[in-house]
Every structure is written in structure tokens, then in C-alpha cells.
Amino acid sequence: MLRQSAARCSILVASALAGTACIPYHRTEPLSPPVVGSIWYSDNAPASGMLVAVVGSNWRHPCRDATRWVTTDQQGHFEVPASYVQTRWLLILPPMERFFSVFDVCVGRDSSSLTAAYTGRALLSGGEPADTVRCILWAAGGSPQQSCAGRSQQSVHTSGSWTTATSNGFYRLLVPTDDSRAQEARLQWVQRLDGDGERVVDSLALPLAPKPLQIDRAELHTSAESTCVIVRSAGGKAHWYSNPQVVATILDLGPPGHATPRPRCGRS
């Protein structure tokens, strides 16, 4: 009886191992297209001298494998050539066909402070045009944050317009990355200056759920009449028996410093 039980266990283990199988597969695959863009501070000053690296996305150890990087110039601009990775194994069981790779754009003041700021995708067939990324550095609760907008991800939203007797501008919403654990998003009133310049004239912190797990919605919604900002996030449970904590902010926007709470906005 003991021998039968041992044999049965051996069969189950072998069956489990047989459910996943790999074969040696040496091939160079695209990791990312060329990535070009710029980095700015929240007051619209260019962030010169920042390090920018492109690495394979790794949620356990983000940016750990960065081995080379470029530095932003005096205008905050950067350009990272296309990247490639050596694939050594091919998963054949279960049968899964891959069409793209996932990469992170990491930003930091030095190699030890690189933080994932943008996640992009690259087709394995290659030949994609450059992914243009603009990142804005800001702070929430004393902790540095990065928000980026590019082809695959939008953490910087701009929309609408405001006007006063002496100036005019637009609204900008900065959304933290999912893994930053930030407790707020940031709304800015940005003034348009002569010569295509910009200046932040006011800002407002928008609270997120405690222990934020996911930002369900974050956008600026502009209609013919007005612009609203909508931020909805879900956080960790207060108790094991309770539902996830949800925080929703909906504001009707006006001139700098004017934001009126609303029960709904546009298509919300």
C-alpha cells in the first residue's frame, strides 16, 4: 500500500512537471524601440543631468538590471537607441504565442536611484518607430514621483482651458505610478506664456485611497461648457471582512484655485 501511494505521488509530480516545458532557444529579440523624449520638473523647468535607462520590465526588482543609460541635456531631452535581449528558452507547454515585449523606462538622479516611470511595449517583429515619452518630476508627501506620457501609457493628462483678466492656460493632471504607493494625484493650472512657454500658477492635491492598490480612473473630461477632473482609486481593506476602500473625487474646474465638487461629471 505504501509503495502504491509513493508511486501515485511520483506520477502526480511528473504530470505537474510535464504541464510546463521549455526548449533551448537562442535568439535576439527586440526589447524596445528607440525611446526619445524629455523630462521636466513640475514647475516646467527642464530636468538636466537626469539618468534614463531602458530595461526589461520586472515587477519584483524594477530597474535592477539597468546596465547602461543616457543623460538628459540642458533642455531635459534624451534619446535611447533601440534595445535587444537574448532569449535562451522557449516555452512550448502550455502553448503561448508572444507578440510583444514589455520594457520599463527608469529615471533617477544617479544609478542607485533609478525608478520605473514608464512601461512600454515593443512588437517582436521589430521595425517600430520611436516611442516619444515626456516625463514630469513632482513630489507627494515629501516623496519624489514621476509621471510620463507616451505611446503605451498616459500618466500625464492635459485638457481644457481657463481664462482670467490677465492670463490664460490649461489644466494638467499628474497621476503617480501604480507601485509608488503615493497618497495623492496632482492637478495643476498651467499658464501659457509668449514663445510657447508654460508656467504652473496653482496646484491642488487630489487624495487617493489609503494603501492605494489601483487607480481605477483618472482623467480630465472637457465638454463644451466646462472641464472636470475625475480621480477614483481603490485601496486596501480596513478589515479582513470589509470591502476595499474607494475614494472618488469629481471637481468642476475654473480659473486658478477654483475647483467645485460635483456628484458627476460628463460621462462619469
pLDDT score recorded for residue 22 = 62
Q: Could you tell me which CATH number the domain at 22-154 has?
A: 2.60.40.1120
- 24-28, 63-67, 154-158: least confident range: 24-28
- The x, y and z cell numbers of residue 84, run together, are 535587444
pLDDT score recorded for residue 26 = 57
Query: Rounded mean pLDDT of 90-97?
Result: 51
pLDDT classification of 130: cutoffs 50, 70, 90: very high
Strand 51-56 vs strand 83-93: parallel, antiparallel, or unpaired? Answer: unpaired
Of 221, 216, 214, the C-alpha closest to 250 is 221
Match 480621480 to its residue by C-alpha cell. Answer: 231
Q: Say if residue 95's pLDDT is above 50.
A: no
pLDDT score recorded for residue 5 = 42
Of 240, 233, 125, the C-alpha closest to 185 is 233
Helix (H) or strand (E) holding 199: strand 198-207
Query: Rounded mean pLDDT of 69-82?
Result: 95
Residues 6+ apart with CB under 8 A from 51: 69, 70, 71, 106, 107, 108, 109, 110, 111, 114
- 92 vs 232: which has the higher pLDDT: 232
pLDDT classification of 228: cutoffs 50, 70, 90: very high
Residues 6+ apart with CB under 8 A from 194: none
Report pLDDT digits (tens) over 3-60: 334 444 443 344 444 456 666 555 677 788 999 999 999 888 999 999 999 998 876 7
Amino acid sitting at position 77: H
pLDDT classification of 169: cutoffs 50, 70, 90: very high
- The x, y and z cell numbers of residue 264, run together, are 458627476
In angstroms, rounded to a whole number, what is the distance separating the alpha carbons of residues 212 and 233? 7
> Before 255, cis peptide (omega within 30)?
no
pTM: 0.80
Q: Where are the domains of the chain?
A: 22-154, 156-268
